[in-house]
Amino acid sequence: MVKDDLLPLRAECTMLFQSNPYMVESIDGLEQRLGRKKEVLVPVLELLVKQGILQLLEDESLPLYRYQEPFVVTELESKSNLEGT
């Protein structure tokens, strides 16, 4: 499968995990939830793990996936604090 062909499935997986941020799921469970074959899901899940969107939890031979909340940096200091006023 060409990488561009995986884009809709990447979005579908991302939205599933974002909508259920505490869900922990195996590949078999994702096959059932998404109605997709394992062979198609594995490269997508690996890519989402590399991108930091999903976290891979390995429990012996059963890989589990969960959503990884993005790290957000917020600016706490105002401009006036930076200028020394």
Task: Tell me the average pLDDT across 54-77.
Answer: 82
What pLDDT score was predicted for residue 8?
93
Domains and CATH numbers, the chain: 3-67 (1.10.10.10)
64 closest CA partner among 74, 72, 54, 73? 54
Stated pTM of the model: 0.76
**Confidence band, pLDDT 50/70/90 cuts, at residue 29:** very high
Among the listed residues 81, 82, 1, the one whose alpha carbon sits nearest the alpha carbon of residue 42: 1
